[in-house]
Amino acid sequence: LLSDADSKVIKDYEVLNAEAVCQNAGMARPGFFFVAPDGVIKEKLFEVKYRERLTGNNALSKLFPELADQVTDTIEQPHLQVVLQQSDNSGMPGNLITLTAEIRLPADVHVYAPGAQGYKPVKLDFDPIPDAEFRPVSYPQPKVLVLQAIHEKVPAFEGTFRIREEMKINSRASYSGPLAPEGKSVVIKGKFEYQACDRTTCFLPASVLVEWHLQVLPLDRQRAPDDIRHK
């Protein structure tokens, strides 16, 4: 969060929030630049709505998904393993938190991707809660599996793949205002559905309950000193 009373650097980086008014006038859109050692900007991560903000961990999880997400639980199923991850263990109203279900399949097992006909494709559903807003679930690009025995081609997943959900913590004043200093514990619950098959057998469709835990902290409302506020 840059202290730039005249908005000079903000304008140089072309991140001025032109729609902001009153005490927010002249401020930047919150976001992240990923700058390489040679000074070249490799990535820019910004949200359209200034009240929706990525956390530092969430930005890292987008750039380096294998390194940044924190494992919170591992669920063993008969034909696969579900590893639950999240970008942050805590956040504030308006923060965007990434929830991940990493699916690990044995070498000879596959599951069906969304769009597969005649089989139960994978699906990650979340229970609605007043503490958060959920964006559409993001599935990876499947491979086309050729089933020689029945002369079919179907979209499927093999090996290890990740299903991601980006949720925004409720940013309404009616929610953020009453938060106590210690914050609020929130449980995000959902269900993962799938049908696993190996080379000879398609097993019955199955589902597993999943959940993530998040601590929602109150906003820091302390004002900056007068001499570095926007003029």
For residue 1, the model assigns a pLDDT of: 64
Q: Let me know how long the chain is.
A: 231
pLDDT in tens, 58-86: 888 888 876 666 778 999 998 999 999 99
For residue 117, the model assigns a pLDDT of: 87
DSSP codes, 148-187: GGGTEEEEEEESEEEEEEEEEE---HHHHTT--TT-EEEE
Quickly tell me which residue has 């559905």 as its tokens.
193
Confidence of residue 150 (pLDDT cuts 50, 70, 90): low
Is the model's pLDDT at 115 over the cut of 80? yes
The answer to whether 73 touches 81, Cβ cutoff 8 Å, is no
Is the model's pLDDT at 149 over the cut of 70? no
For the question of whether the overall pTM of this predicted structure is more than 0.85, the answer is: no
How far is CA 8 from its chain centroid? 32
Q: Which helix H or strand E contains 99, and what residues bound it?
A: strand 95-104
